[in-house]
Amino acid sequence: KQEVTQIPAALSVPEGENLVLNCSFTDSAIYNLQWFRQDPGKGLTSLLLIQSSQREQTSGRLNASLDKSSGRSTLYIAASQPGDSATYLCAVQMFTGGGNKLTFGTGTQLKVEL
């Protein structure tokens, strides 16, 4: 059974700091890995999707890396802003007997302070 772990569970940083969120998974037979953002009381917004054959993806100030063999991914946020405050979830997609399955971590709650 795939298990996804995110460290740290919560993080508070001053504005402007660069930061790294970590995600690890136990089964490396994944199809892709996705990073989502969730604001309080809202649904999830997809940030980045990395295919299993890729090493990283970038979008603006966000960079996600994937090391499938070691079961790790990191989300790097450059020059953090208060608007980045949210919960960040990683999820791995893999094939099961009935099709694909997305397994989520428990998230990292980020607070960027002025």
Partner 1 sequence: EAGVVQSPRYKIIEKKQPVAFWCNPISGHNTLYWYLQNLGQGPELLIRYENEEAVDDSQLPKDRFSAERLKGVDSTLKIQPAELGDSAVYLCASSLQTIGTQYFGPGTRLLVL
Residues that bind partner 1 (CB under 8 A): 4, 31-32, 34, 36, 41-46, 49, 89, 91, 93, 96, 98-102, 104-107
In the complex with partner 1, which residue's Cβ is closer, 77 or 94?
94
Cα–Cα distance, 106 to 92 (Å, whole number): 12
Q: In angstroms, what is the minimal distance from the CB of 40 to partner 1?
A: 11
Which among 40, 59, 41 is positioned nearest to 49, based on CA atoms? 59
In the complex with partner 1, which residue's Cβ is closer, 13 or 49?
49
How far are the Cα atoms of 14, 71, 89, 103, 114 from residue 35, in angstroms, in the given order?
22, 15, 6, 12, 25
Cα–Cα distance, 68 to 12 (Å, whole number): 28
Q: In angstroms, what is the minimal distance from the CB of 70 to partner 1?
A: 21
In the complex with partner 1, which residue's Cβ is closer, 69 or 96?
96
